[in-house]
């Protein structure tokens, strides 16, 4: 180490400390950012002078120099250099976006983008450069390079070569030298340099995306030499840009996805080409250059099997998961006869859809990817079970549980990989709610914990990967849990893919709206009380005065003010989410009523999309019409470009709404928080209309007010400004706050003043909490620990159980001994305690029963103890909780008590396990299960029945459930919900699409949908599913029997109705054929699917003649009919080989990468470095998007041809 390096580092550290600390902005930096935002929003800016710009530029240069010192001494991975680069990028970006005249010194966006790339923030670089509108071809070319958009680099380079044909000849280098030696001022050293630089960047881009390391080395050597030359001969700024391009290029080379994939290929060299084409495909999707988090993740993937990857949303975790799928399913040799399977656990059904689409687009050719979309437990086709191809199952925890009950032994035998997305969700939230969720049996954390733990204890060798967001601070415990090692550490990377601004949208009657900005990435933008607040005054007309009845509700005034501003902002191409805390139907109604007014109508400038998107939009409208009705708010809003989404919306419509947002068809969205749970959608702006949820506790007769937690808020805010998706670089999350009351009559003044004050206080509280950084914790709450602790504290408090007696009490006491109301949804404290105990029993019973199934041996207290001890060791609780030993003892004692005292009958335990309810509720269900089964068995003529008779079958089953509050129907304690429950058969008719069945009034739609989701889809579906699963288990000779449609009826001894029932409830139809068509995408609406019925019936008649009732709904026939349909022909003729004439090569290398440029009727085939190699004449054939493909020139035996060797794939 040179003598003064320590001194140099100290100097650089001084600069970093004063200017570049990640979570702190200096006051001038904060001001620079505010000015930048104000300029972007075209509103008057704060006072700012040229000297301040000069100072910022000087700071940026000092930071760059410090980064240089850190890098040259600490190496390219120096995190302190990263800090300096990031801040440099920010300062330059802010100056550049503020339209500062320093842009006349150098294209400053290029410097900013390069600094972001070197600071490991590629998305910021891309986002910033997306805004660049340069008149200069060179700036655009370098911008494309700094965005890692290699397709575009090549396109721009080729435009250059087309315009400079004289430079593409074989002896072009010599021409340039000659030109340099001449006195022509327009063809000097700099021109020669520029031409060589374009050659270099084109070649680097092509070699990177093709994975051609040999020529990449040459291109990089040339780039380094050019940089060396620029540093000596060019002006400071030109040299700086060239130097940064060189450094960024080196970063790209180091981060190419080819590198880890080649390393992976060593596991199974014969599959190298598969991996290389995967890598090439990633480049065409803009993901060929790995982000830091991905490099770390893949490094672990290469070295080890299981690990936790802990980086924020948007940092590219999915790619790591995909590579794990490749490694474990496609590269490893498996000695089982069945193909391997990966279980990919996601937190929501919506996310399952997103992951499924992405995985299918990338790996669909090699593996079967299925989210088992629909209602049936193992899907309506059996191809994933019987195929020899590896399978990825994307499931929620609930779906995984159901699958395990059905096919446990099969699944565990095939399981090769377990991926847990959003694994931090194993940490339960606030404790009071958690306790209630235990007693309501709807706590997801414990389901996740126990599912994973059971899998780990049954298959300790299975490879598992946890993907988690940093938020929640549980990375350490999650890593220990997943890896099963006390010293395990999560792979964590500091990373923000976007900038988040938090503030307020102020609403004052009669005045234009105004945005107050408070925080940027958790940093204050101004000092309250010391500096002027930072405002963005909006330039639109104020919202017209509302009718008196409307403005008497401050909430309505506030919501409509949001819509008024959103409609204006949408015109500026902003994508907006209006996030409502509750009762979305009320907001939707307000919006509809406002948009019916003339003044508002004029603001709606939504144009239906053109081209392919038109069909998608029409499909969404049709589905909305189908499921919500012609008069629904949802359809009214959708027709005006406003998408809606909430948790009760039918799944198919929700998917389509998400598509309307994702494809940027609808600029405005109104939704509850369920829309954004884990799903990436492109919003620039998020408005929150409230920070509170209110509900009514009927038992206590009091209103429950719940504030939005900071983690909920952070999750929501994280959806704003998604990289590459949104227009601006930052996402803004604005809380809508009225600044004056809206009512004009005296009656409401006091109330509105109080409401206004409360809203302001809610926001202040939130803002303060957001300033406190989340810390990683070593000990965090765990679900099982909370569950056990909840039992202990309540037993002690309610029943007076003393600490020394607790374990004995726990071993012997049944939930029914604690409360007669157990399992009825009662909110009484004793009943709740009993229900929490029942929840624990469910956990224990499931675990023990699965052991019995695997080991095929009776359960004894001693075996139970051993099994539970082994299970405990694999729980999240064991690695995360304090007092783990005590909790473990309680867990085991309960298990022993279950076997000995509480549920001593093994046959009953088996049945209870199959049902999937908690045992106490399962016992009651046992009594109706046989009745349900009889009803299913009796439905053998379902295929021939009319709609009403079919729906009666469901009604008869539902009647068995309607009275029970455990497994049966449950509604909220409101008058409206009680009325719905009393009238549920009418609602069933509507949902199951009974002809002529009246639908709800639009304002009641969501309440109906809620009943459908909670009780018809869920509870009725679960009950039927439990009976069907039981029938299957009874019928199979052993647990490893492969289910198939061919064997289903013989095994279950049930008619096809049993197979379809859940699916019908999910799709809202009485006809299995309709469900099939919708699930397979053969029709867009239920009506359209019904219209195809005749087509199928005719086919069936022709196929078998005189079909019977069961034939009409036999899924095997549906499948065969689908296969008989004519397939869509591949659109473009492939025509991949072209004969060419060699022009600039003797063909000695035999194979040459080439890129086409069109010139008249001819295509010139150029080397990526800009040398023409061959020419062909192929008038106008297949010239679409050619620069995104790879072509290769082949020369052999005097024949020369060009082949397309890579064609970009479909983007999901």
Partner 1 sequence: MSLHTAPPPMAALQAWLKALGSIENEGNYGHLLLEQVGVCDDALAAALRPYFESAHLDAREYFHRQLGIDLHPDGGRAAEVCYPNCLPETAKRGLFGEVMAGLVTEAYQSEFVGSHQWIVPIFLFRNHDDVENYLWALKADPGRAREIYGRHGTDFVGISLDAAGEVARMIVGECKWRRNLTESAVASLLYGPKVENEETGELERDGKGIWYEINRDSPIPWGLRQLQRLLELKDPEGYASAIYSIDRAVLGDGAKPERTDMVLIVGNGAKRRDEGDCLIGWEELPVDYTAGYALQVVEVILKGGEELIAKLYSSLWRGT
Task: Pick out residues in 85-114 that bind partner 1 (CB under 8 A).
Answer: 104-107
- Strand 514-520 relative to strand 499-507: parallel, antiparallel, unpaired? antiparallel
Q: How far is CA 1080 from CA 379, 816, 894, 975, 1098, in A?
A: 11, 46, 46, 39, 20
Residue showing tokens 């004692």: 893
Shortest CB 397 distance to partner 1, Å: 54
Establish if 777 lies at the interface with partner 1 (CB under 8 A). no
Span from 37-45, 232-240, 262-270, 763-771 in contact with partner 1 (CB under 8 A)? 232-240
Whether 378 contacts 407, CB under 8 Å: yes
Kindly state whether residue 218 participates in binding partner 1, applying the rule CB under 8 A: yes
For the CB of residue 121, give the shortest distance to partner 1 in the complex, in Å: 23
Q: Does 21 bind partner 1 (CB under 8 A)?
A: no
- Taking CB under 8 A as the binding criterion, the range among 212-220, 556-564, 600-608, 1100-1108 that sits at the site for partner 1 is 212-220
Query: Where in 144-183 is the site for partner 1 (CB under 8 A)?
Result: 160, 163, 170, 173-174, 177, 180-183
Residue nearer to partner 1 on the CB measure, 159 or 1036: 159
* The binder of partner 1 chosen from 162, 215, 514, 972 (CB under 8 A): 215
How many CA within 13 A on the CB side of residue 537? Answer: 9
**Which one among 40, 65, 604, 900 touches partner 1, defined by CB under 8 A?**
65
Q: Any idea what the Cα angle at residue 1165 is, between residues 1160 and 1167, rounded to 5°?
A: 140
Cα–Cα dist 788/809, whole Å: 13
Q: Which of 29, 56, 66, 348 binds partner 1 (CB under 8 A)?
A: 66
CB-nearer residue toward partner 1: 136 or 768: 136
Binds partner 1 by CB under 8 A, chosen from 8, 812, 986, 1194: 8
Minimum CB separation from partner 1 for residue 737, in Å? 43
Pick from 95, 70, 92, 72: nearest CA to 83: 70
Smaller CB separation from partner 1, 187 or 986: 187
Judged by CB under 8 A, the chain residues 1133 through 1192 that form the site for partner 1 are 1145-1146, 1148-1149, 1152-1153, 1167, 1169-1171, 1173
Return d(Cα 591, Cα 411) in angstroms, integer. 48
Q: Identify the residue among 21, 27, 42, 221 touching partner 1 (CB under 8 A).
A: 221
Q: Does 267 bind partner 1 (CB under 8 A)?
A: no
- Does residue 225 interact with partner 1 by CB under 8 A? yes
Q: Tell me which residues in 417-456 interact with partner 1 (CB under 8 A).
A: none
DSSP state, residue 256? B
* Planar angle of CA 550, 551, 555, nearest 5 degrees: 90
Cβ atoms 507, 516 nearer than 8 A:
no
Helix, strand, or coil (residue 538): coil
In whole angstroms, the minimum distance from the beta carbon of 310 to partner 1 comes to 35
**Which of 49, 133, 166, 185 is in the footprint of partner 1 by CB under 8 A?**
185
Answer for which of 188, 484, 537, 816 binds partner 1 (CB under 8 A) is: 188
Sign of the torsion angle spanned by Cα atoms 310, 314, 315, 320? positive
- The yes or no reply on residue 802 touching partner 1 (CB under 8 A) is no
Q: How far is the CB of 98 from partner 1 (least distance, A)?
A: 19
Q: Could you tell me the end-to-end alpha-carbon distance of the chain, in angstroms, rounded to an integer?
A: 51
- Find the part of the chain contacting partner 1 (CB under 8 A) among 193-201, 468-476, 871-879, 930-938: 193-201
Q: What is the closest distance, in whole angstroms, from the C-beta atom of residue 443 to partner 1 in the complex?
A: 55
Q: Are 683 and 720 in contact (CB under 8 A)?
A: yes
With binding defined as CB under 8 A, does residue 28 bind partner 1? Answer: no
Shortest distance, position 1173 Cβ to partner 1, whole Å = 7
E-strand ranges in 291-423 read: 307-310, 341-345, 368-370, 391-395, 415-420
Angle 846-851-857 from CA coordinates, rounded to 5°:
125
Q: Which two tokens stand for residue 1185?
A: 């998007």
Q: Which of 203, 372, 840, 936 binds partner 1 (CB under 8 A)?
A: 203
Residue 604 as a binder of partner 1 (CB under 8 A): the answer is no
Can residue 139 be called a binding residue for partner 1 (CB under 8 A)? yes
- CB nearer to partner 1: pick between 1 and 882: 1
Residues from 287 through 346 that contact partner 1 (CB under 8 A):
none
| Nearer Cβ to partner 1 (187/268) | 187
- Under 8 Å between Cβ of 303 and 325: no
94 and 36 Cβ atoms separated by less than 8 Å: yes
Q: Closer to partner 1 at the Cβ: 197 or 787?
A: 197
DSSP for 838-852 reads HHHHHHHHHHHHHHH
Residue 255, exposed/middle/buried by CB under 10 A (0-12, 13-18, 19+)?
A: buried
Specify burial of residue 1050 (Cβ count, 10 A radius: 0-12, 13-18, 19+): exposed
Q: Among 98, 144, 226, 346, which residue sits at the site for partner 1 (rule: CB under 8 A)?
A: 226
CB of 492 to partner 1, least distance (A): 31
Regarding beta strands 642-645 and 668-671, do their DSSP bridges make them parallel or antiparallel, or are they unpaired?
parallel
The one among 28, 43, 138, 522 contacting partner 1 by CB under 8 A = 138
Whose CA is closest to 40, among 512, 573, 767, 497? 573
Strands (E), 939-984: none
CB nearer to partner 1: give 190 or 674.
Answer: 190
Instruction: Using CB under 8 A, pick the residue from 35, 62, 424, 970 that binds partner 1.
Output: 62
Q: In the bound complex, what is the minimum distance in angstroms from residue 1208's beta carbon to partner 1?
A: 24
Q: Which two structure tokens, joined as six digits, stand for 1150?
A: 């035999």
Q: In this complex, which beta carbon is closest to partner 1, that of residue 183 or of residue 432? A: 183
Q: Which of 43, 46, 189, 1109 forms a contact with partner 1 (CB under 8 A)?
A: 189
- Binding of partner 1 by 236 (CB under 8 A): yes
What is the 8-class DSSP label of residue 899? I
15 binds partner 1 (CB under 8 A): yes
880-to-411, 420, 474, 789 alpha-carbon distances in Å: 28, 18, 9, 14
Task: Output the smallest distance, CB 180 to partner 1, in A.
Answer: 7
Contact call for residues 1141 and 1200 (beta carbons, < 8 A): yes
Binding flag, residue 214, partner 1 (CB under 8 A): no
User: Which one, 174 or 695, has the nearer CB to partner 1?
Assistant: 174
Q: What backbone phi and psi angles, to 5 degrees, belong to 878?
A: -60, -30
Binders of partner 1 among residues 979 to 1008 (CB under 8 A) are none
Instruction: Decide if residue 760 touches partner 1 (CB under 8 A).
Output: no
Among 51, 75, 133, 235, binds partner 1 (CB under 8 A): 235
810-830 in b/e burial notation, b at 16+ Cβ within 10 A?
bbebbbbebbebbbbbbeeeb
Residue given tokens 């000995």 in the structure block: 900
Find the shortest distance in angstroms from Cβ 173 to partner 1. Answer: 5
Which residue, 42 or 58, is less far from partner 1 as judged by CB?
A: 58
Residue 887's closest CA among 873, 904, 898? 873
Q: Does 276 bind partner 1 (CB under 8 A)?
A: no
How many chain residues touch partner 1 (CB under 8 A)?
A: 83
Binding-site member from 3, 602, 857, 1094 for partner 1 (CB under 8 A): 3
Let me know the angle formed at the C-alpha of 96 by 532 and 203, rounded to the nearest 5 degrees.
150
> Which of 229/604 has CB closer to partner 1?
229
Considering the rule CB under 8 A, would residue 136 count as an interface residue with partner 1?
Answer: yes
Q: Is 575 in the site for partner 1 (CB under 8 A)?
A: no
- DSSP H/E element including 696: strand 692-697
> For residue 72, how many other CB atoms are within 10 A of its CB?
14
């Amino acid at each position: 180490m040179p003598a003064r390096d320590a001194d140099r580092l100290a100097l650089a550290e001084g600069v970093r400390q004063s200017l570049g600390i990640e979570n702190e902005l200096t006051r001038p930096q904060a001001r620079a950012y505010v000015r930048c935002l104000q300029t972007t929003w075209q509103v008057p800016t704060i006072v700012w002078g040229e000297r301040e710009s000069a100072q910022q530029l000087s700071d940026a240069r000092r930071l760059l120099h410090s980064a240089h010192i850190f890098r040259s001494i600490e190496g390219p991975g120096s995190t302190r250099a990263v800090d300096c680069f990031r801040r440099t990028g920010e300062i330059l970006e802010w100056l550049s976006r503020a339209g500062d005249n320093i842009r006349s010194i150098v294209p400053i966006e290029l410097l900013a983008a390069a600094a972001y790339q070197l600071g490991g923030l590629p998305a910021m670089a891309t986002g910033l450069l997306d805004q660049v509108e340069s008149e200069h071809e060179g700036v655009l070319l370098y911008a494309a390079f700094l965005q890692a958009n290699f397709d575009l680099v090549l396109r721009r380079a080729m435009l250059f070569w087309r315009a400079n044909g004289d430079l593409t000849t074989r002896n072009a280098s010599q021409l340039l030298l000659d030109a340099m030696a001449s006195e022509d001022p327009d063809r000097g050293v700099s021109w020669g340099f520029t031409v060589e630089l374009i050659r270099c960047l084109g070649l680097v881009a092509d070699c990177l995306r093709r994975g051609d390391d040999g020529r990449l080395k040459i291109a990089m050597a040339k780039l380094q030499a050019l940089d060396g030359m620029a540093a000596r001969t060019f002006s400071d700024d030109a040299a700086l840009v060239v130097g940064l391009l060189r450094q960024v290029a080196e970063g790209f080379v180091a981060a190419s996805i080819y590198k880890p994939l080649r390393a992976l290929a060593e596991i199974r060299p014969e599959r190298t080409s598969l991996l290389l084409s995967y890598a090439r495909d990633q480049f065409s999707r803009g993901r060929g250059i790995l982000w830091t988090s991905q490099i770390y993740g893949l490094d672990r993937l290469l070295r080890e099997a299981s690990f936790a990857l802990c980086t924020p949303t948007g940092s590219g975790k999915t790619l790591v998961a995909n590579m794990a799928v490749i490694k474990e399913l496609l590269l490893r040799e498996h000695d089982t006869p069945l193909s391997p399977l990966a279980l990919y656990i996601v937190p929501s059904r919506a996310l399952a859809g997103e992951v499924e689409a992405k995985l299918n687009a990338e790996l669909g050719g090699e593996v079967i990817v299925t989210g088992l979309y629909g209602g049936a437990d193992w899907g309506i086709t059996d191809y994933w079970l019987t195929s020899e191809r590896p399978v990825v199952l994307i499931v929620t925890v609930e779906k995984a549980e159901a699958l395990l009950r059905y096919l446990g032994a099969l699944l565990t035998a095939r399981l090769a990989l377990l991926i847990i997305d959003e694994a931090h969700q194993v940490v339960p939230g606030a404790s009071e709610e958690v306790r209630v969720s235990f007693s309501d049996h709807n706590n997801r954390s414990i389901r996740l914990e126990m599912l994973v733990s059971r899998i780990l204890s049954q298959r300790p060798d299975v490879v598992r990967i946890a993907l988690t967001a940093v938020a929640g601070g549980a990375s350490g415990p999650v890593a220990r849990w997943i890896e099963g090692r006390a010293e395990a550490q999560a792979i964590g990377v500091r990373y923000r893919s976007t900038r988040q601004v938090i503030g307020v949208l102020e609403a004052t009657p009669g005045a234009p709206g105004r945005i107050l900005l408070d925080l940027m990435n958790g940093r204050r933008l101004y000092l309250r009380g010391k500096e002027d607040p930072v405002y963005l005054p909006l330039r639109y007309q104020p919202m017209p005065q509302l009718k008196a009845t409307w403005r008497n509700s401050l909430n309505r005034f506030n919501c409509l003010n949001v819509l008024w501003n959103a409609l204006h902002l949408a015109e500026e191409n902003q994508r907006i989410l209006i996030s409502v805390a509750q009762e979305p139907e009320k907001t939707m109604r307000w919006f509809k009523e406002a948009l019916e007014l003339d003044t508002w109508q004029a603001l709606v400038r939504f144009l239906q999309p053109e081209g392919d998107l038109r069909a998608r939009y029409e499909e969404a409208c049709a589905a909305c019409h189908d499921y919500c009705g012609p008069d629904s708010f949802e359809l009214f809003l959708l027709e005006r470009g406003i998408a809606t989404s909430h948790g009760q919306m039918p799944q198919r419509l929700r998917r389509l709404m998400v598509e309307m947002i994702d494809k940027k068809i609808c600029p405005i969205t109104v939704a509850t928080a369920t829309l954004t749970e884990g799903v990436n959608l492109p919003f620039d702006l998020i408005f929150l209309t409230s920070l509170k949820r209110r509900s009514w506790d009927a038992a206590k007769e009091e209103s429950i007010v719940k504030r939005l937690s900071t983690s909920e808020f952070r999750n929501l805010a994280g959806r704003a400004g998604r990289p590459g998706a949104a227009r601006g670089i930052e996402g803004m999350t604005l809380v809508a706050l009225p600044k004056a009351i809206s009512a004009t009559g005296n009656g409401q003044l006091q109330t509105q003043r109080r409401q206004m004050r409360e809203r302001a206080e809610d926001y202040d509280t939130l803002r303060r909490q957001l300033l406190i950084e989340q810390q990683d914790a070593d000990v965090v709450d765990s679900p099982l620990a909370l569950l056990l602790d909840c039992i202990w504290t309540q037993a002690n408090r309610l029943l007076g159980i003393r600490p020394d007696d607790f374990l004995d009490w726990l071993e012997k006491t049944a939930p029914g001994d604690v409360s007669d109301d157990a399992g009825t949804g009662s909110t009484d404290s004793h009943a709740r305690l009993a229900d929490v105990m029942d929840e624990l029993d469910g956990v224990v019973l499931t675990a023990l029963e699965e052991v019995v199934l695997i080991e095929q041996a009776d359960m004894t207290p001693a075996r139970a103890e051993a099994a539970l001890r082994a299970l405990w060791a694999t729980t999240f609780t064991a690695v995360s909780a304090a007092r783990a030993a005590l909790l473990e003892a309680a867990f085991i004692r309960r298990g022993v008590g279950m076997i000995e005292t509480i549920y001593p009958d093994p046959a009953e335990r088996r049945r209870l396990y199959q049902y999937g309810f908690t045992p106490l509720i399962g016992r009651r269900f046992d009594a109706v299960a046989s009745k349900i089964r009889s009803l299913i068995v009796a439905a053998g003529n379902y295929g021939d029945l009319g709609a009403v008779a079919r729906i009666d079958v469901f009604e008869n089953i539902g009647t068995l459930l309607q009275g029970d509050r455990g497994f049966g129907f449950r509604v909220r304690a409101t008058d409206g919900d009680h009325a719905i429950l009393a009238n549920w058969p009418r609602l069933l008719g509507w949902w199951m699409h009974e002809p002529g069945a009246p639908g709800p009034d639009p304002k009641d739609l969501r309440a109906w949908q809620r009943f459908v989701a909670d009780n018809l889809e869920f509870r009725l579906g679960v009950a039927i599913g439990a009976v069907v699963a039981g029938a299957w288990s009874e019928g199979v000779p052993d647990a490893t029997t492969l289910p198939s449609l061919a064997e289903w009826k013989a095994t279950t001894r049930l008619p096809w109705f049993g197979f379809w029932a859940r699916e019908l409830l999910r799709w809202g139809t009485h006809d299995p054929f309709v469900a099939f068509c919708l699930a397979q995408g053969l029709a867009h609406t239920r009506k359209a699917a019904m219209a195809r019925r005749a087509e199928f019936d005719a086919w069936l008649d022709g196929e078998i003649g005189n079909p019977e009732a069961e034939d009409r709904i036999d899924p095997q026939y549906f499948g065969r009919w689908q296969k008989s349909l004519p397939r869509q022909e591949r659109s473009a003729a492939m025509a991949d080989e072209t004969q060419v004439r060699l022009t600039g090569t003797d063909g000695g290398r035999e194979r040459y990468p080439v890129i086409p440029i069109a010139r008249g009727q001819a295509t010139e085939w150029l080397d990526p470095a800009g040398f023409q190699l061959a020419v062909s004449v192929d008038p106008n054939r297949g010239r679409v998007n050619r620069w995104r493909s790879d072509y290769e020139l082949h020369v052999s035996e005097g024949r020369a041809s060009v082949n397309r060797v890579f064609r970009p794939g479909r983007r999901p």
